Amino acid sequence: MGKKARLKAIKSMAKNMPLIMTESHEKHLLKGSEILEWGTIKEIDGKPIDPDKMYLYNSPLQVARNHGRRFKNAWLKNGQEGIRAYMNGVLNVVKSNVNS
């Protein structure tokens, strides 16, 4: 199987995989006055928030897994066995989500 055909097969498999969300975070630069408006955070690193100072804030978010990229990396690392292992891993995640 050529490289283009393999990539096409990987993309086809990735489209049929279930949606799985992964925890991640984004960094935002916020002014102290914005953080104080939330009313939930009064201190950062044990120091009071300065309304005029800029702070780096990590915001949690959920991101959908990119199955195509993960399939490709699994293929490059372990070939067909890597693809099989990734699919089994996804199956285990789906089963654990259904049982919980």
Q: Burial-class residue 58 by CB neighbours within 10 Å (0-12, 13-18, 19+).
A: exposed
> Which amino acid would we find at residue 2?
G
If one counts the domains in the chain, the total is 2
Greater model confidence, 64 or 99: 64
Q: Are 26 and 57 part of one and the same domain?
A: yes
Domain encompassing residue 59: 21-64
User: pLDDT-derived band of residue 100, with 50, 70 and 90 as boundaries?
Assistant: low
Q: What is the mean pLDDT of residues 56-82?
A: 93
Inter-axis angle of helices 67-99 and 3-15, nearest 10: 30
Q: Are 46 and 59 part of one and the same domain?
A: yes
Task: Write down the pLDDT at residue 9.
Answer: 87
Q: Are 72 and 100 part of one and the same domain?
A: yes
22-48 residue pLDDT tens: 999 999 999 999 999 999 888 988 999
Measured between alpha carbons, how far is 29 from 50 in angstroms, rounded to an integer?
14
